[in-house]
Chain A
Amino acid sequence: MRVLVVEDEPDLLRTIAQVLREDGYAVDEAADGQDGLFKARSWEYDAIVLDLLMPKLTGWQVLEQLRQTHKTPVLILSARDGVTDRVRGLDGGADDYLPKPFHLTELKARLRAIIRRSAGLATSQILVGELTVDTKTKTVTRGDTLLLLTPREFSLLELLAMHRGHVVSRTQIYEHLFDENEDSLSNLVDVHVSNLRRKLGKDFITTRRGQGYILHD
């Protein structure tokens, strides 16, 4: 999962990015509205954390311009906690609104929730055949057996599971798994896919040559 954090307070930006990275997200950072809007348009994020009062472009302006082309889930994180601000944010196209100061656990839960909803899922557990992928605890179980995956492998599995039945292209995988600063080698995806196949079963992930990968039910 790849998330964009747009926040003009440097310390807070660093903290949020760090906590999300530790949680297995690929995180891009933007320190002002203009940068944030540019990045939000350039890549396909799974979610955007957006501050409201920022230089160059305010959060409302970013949201308004972004919504003309993108449906990316947006969580507004703002020190403005008035009802009018929340209503304005939600009506402006935001999917959630979290006032500062906030608990990191709540931020993470809300992020999971908007990502889950955008994928059309009702719970944090995705059932794929015999496997249960829990996006909350970041674990994969087969029956009662806990399968050990690296965070990257889990992210790849989560991405494929969320789009199961649909082909996920290599570009999509790159975009969702690596942040802007990672020097992603072209065969890195292949390595992760083969690792997953080794741990979950050979036929678990089907390769569509020239198109990408698909996870069947």
Chain B
Amino acid sequence: MIRSIRGRLQWWYGAVYALSIIVFGCLVYWRADRDVNERATLQAVSTAQYLDVSLRTGRPGPMRDGRPGNPPDFNLRDDQHGDHFPPDFGMGRLPPEFQFRPPRDRRPDLGPPHDRRPDQLRGSDQPKGPPVRKGPVEPRLPPELPGDNSDGPRPPIDRMEFAIWRHDGSVLARSGGAESNDLPDLQMPAGSGHPLQITRGDGFIEAAMLGPQEATIVVRRPLAHDMAKLHRFGFQIATMAVGTLVVGIVGGWWISGRIVQPIQMISETAAQISATNLDRRIETRHLDQELVQLGTVLNGTFERLENSFQRLTQFTADASHELRTPLAVIQSQTELALSQPRSAESYQLTLETCLKSAERMRSLVDGLLLLARTDSEYSELRKETIDLRSVAEDAVAQLQEKAISVGIELECAAPETMVGVSADVRFLLQVPINLIDNAIQHTPSGGKIFVEVKTEGNDAVLSVRDTGCGINAEHLPHVFERFYRVDAGRSRQHGGSGLGLSICKSLVESHGGTINCESKVGEGSVFVVRLPLVNVGE
């Protein structure tokens, strides 16, 4: 199996090309062969007709433009008449009934020659045929007659032979080659009922027709020279075909090379792109349209790769920043405490600070792990049909104390009936907790947080609305990004890790839901979680 595109292209192209050349050559040869045969047949037939007309009129063949036509290209061997042409067959002028009729006309079967009466030759089915005239009728022969008057040496041609029998079977006349004294081995066709009968033999064509006074005319057209010419022609065609095929295949190889070259260029560029130079792109300006498409698709992939790589780098930097800060607190605090003897209160303060930092690191690590888990696979989710109302109420109950301690009113509203969702309660509970916690952090004392559960169409909806400071429109698209902070200082004082909302988004999406946020600066924000509603009745 050929694996390279170029090789396969070449193979298919070569095969189709060779096949079409072979078919074309065969068609040409067949056509030439048919032409040779048709021409030979025509020559034989027209010669027979010429002899027929000569027999009837005593004049040399049909008239063309008022002059006698060219004699057929054969030699008469007639001792009585010598080289005189037209030959006088001793029959004188034929009566008008014997005038020539085009042999191509369909005529009734006339039976054997000796049974025929001359008037039957007129053809009783053609009463409205050409009108009978006095004197010889201009016969309508095919315009071409064998032989020509061209000067100079003529190529060897196949000379025709003929023989004419009287109705009693005796030979009236027969041709003989100038170079041969042998009588042609023409036989009077047995039972030749047709006015014109064409026989194809091995290397010749014979035309037999019924002449005047039930004479039988037979003309043989040998094909030896024509066949030799035809074979030469065939050989030439074959030679040209092979030559064309070679040129075509070599040209095709070159063309396919040119087509494949940009693909190689693309693959080289793609191979050079690595983590350190993700900003490289495939040059599409000089490419063909199909390859521009490929290049654009690849460039788009590189673009996304670069973006996700940058996001990853940013995430790593942010994560390390968030981890380093509490670490720096612990390290400097302990170093300071150990630098000289201190009071018990001072050590206690140091330990409290360290504990606080350690807790912050723990929550951060927990958040990162949770994110990594929801990122990697959702297989850990043990989904069951749970009531979203109880999830919201649990979260509110957990955070009620914290809300009261900072002077915020936390309320929850839910419908009478169950709002079923398919979820893992361990993970889903984190969503309202994070949202409410986030709302508490951004709502000043005396504010209000309203948690609502309801159904909308096929969605179970959980919304958390606060009367906080709101989020500026420029920050709104980024609030679910990891470590994105609208105000870098604010949430840190509340112990936020910068991961809460992105964890919410990740969890909600792992449950097949959506989360979004609307906000007005100064009026507050609302976070809406939509999950697919599960019909409890089922």
Contacts and interface: CB of A to CB of B under 8 A. Distances in A.
Contacts of B331: 101-103
Interface stretch (A16-24, A126-134, A140-148, A196-204): A16-24
Nearest to B352: A11
Given A54-B489, A80-B317, A81-B320, A12 B328 contact: yes
B356 interface: yes
Contacts of B274: none
A82 B493 CA distance: 25
Contacts of A79: 320-322, 324-325, 328
Interface in B363-401: none
A153 interface: no
Interface string B331-354: 111011001100000000000010
Interface in A72-124: 79-82, 99-105
B401 to A, nearest CB: 24
B287 interface: no
A19 B336 contact: yes
A12 B327 CA distance: 10
B487 to A, nearest CB: 5
Nearest to B336: A19
B490 interface: yes
A33 to B, nearest CB: 9
Interface string B294-334: 00000000000000000000000100111011011111110
Given A79-B320, A80-B321, A81-B320, A55 B487 contact: yes
Given A79-B325, A101-B327, A8 B335 contact: no
A31 B489 contact: yes
Given A12-B328, A80-B321, A102-B328, A55 B333 contact: no
B335 A104 contact: yes
A18 B488 CA distance: 24
Nearest to B490: A55
A146 B212 CA distance: 162
A102 B331 CA distance: 7
Contact of B325 (A16, A18, A100): A100
A9 B321 CA distance: 12
B229 interface: no
B328 A55 contact: no
Contact of B488 (A15, A54, A100): A54
B507 to A, nearest CB: 27
B10 interface: no
Contact of B335 (A11, A32, A103): A103
B324 A82 contact: no
B493 A10 contact: yes
B33 to A, nearest CB: 83
Contacts of B8: none
Contacts of A55: 487-490
A22 B337 CA distance: 12
B137 to A, nearest CB: 112
A36 to B, nearest CB: 12
B492 interface: yes
Contacts of A10: 493
Interface in B519-535: none
B488 A11 contact: no
Contact of A101 (B332, B488, B489, B493): B332
A111 to B, nearest CB: 14
B328 A104 contact: no
Contacts of A99: 324
Contacts of A22: 336, 339-340
How many residues of B sit at the interface, in one of the four size bands?
20 to 34
Contacts of A104: 332, 335-336, 339
Contact of B332 (A16, A31, A54, A82): A16
A189 interface: no
A141 B336 CA distance: 28
Given A53-B488, A104-B332, A11 B327 contact: no
A71 interface: no
A208 interface: no
B441 interface: no
Given A100-B328, A103-B331, A11 B353 contact: yes
A41 interface: no
B328 A101 contact: yes
A19 B492 CA distance: 23
B357 interface: yes
Nearest to B349: A14
A56 interface: yes
A56 to B, nearest CB: 7
Interface in B477-532: 487-490, 492-493
A24 B329 CA distance: 21
Contact of A9 (B320, B325, B490): B325
Q: Which of A11, A15, A101, A105 counts the most B-chain CB atoms under 10 A from its CB?
A: A11
B332 A12 contact: yes
Interface in B61-112: none
A32 B333 contact: no
A78 to B, nearest CB: 8
Contacts of B328: 9, 12, 79, 100-102
Interface string B120-157: 00000000000000000000000000000000000000
Q: Which of B317, B320, B325, B493 counts the most A-chain CB atoms under 10 A from its CB?
A: B325
B341 to A, nearest CB: 12
A47 to B, nearest CB: 17
Q: Which of B356, B488, B493 counts the most A-chain CB atoms under 10 A from its CB?
A: B488
Contact of A18 (B324, B336, B492): B336
A178 B488 CA distance: 31
A55 B330 CA distance: 22
A100 B327 contact: yes
17 contacts: A8-B492, A12-B329, A12-B332, A15-B336, A18-B336, A19-B336, A19-B339, A53-B321, A55-B489, A79-B321, A100-B325, A101-B331, A102-B328, A102-B332, A103-B331, A104-B332, A104-B335
Given A100-B327, A103-B331, 8 more contacts: A11-B333, A11-B356, A54-B489, A79-B320, A82-B317, A99-B324, A100-B328, A104-B332
Instruction: Kindly list the 8 A-B residue pairs having the minimum CB-CB distance in the complex, ordered from nearest.
Output: A55-B489, A100-B328, A79-B324, A101-B328, A79-B321, A101-B327, A101-B331, A15-B332
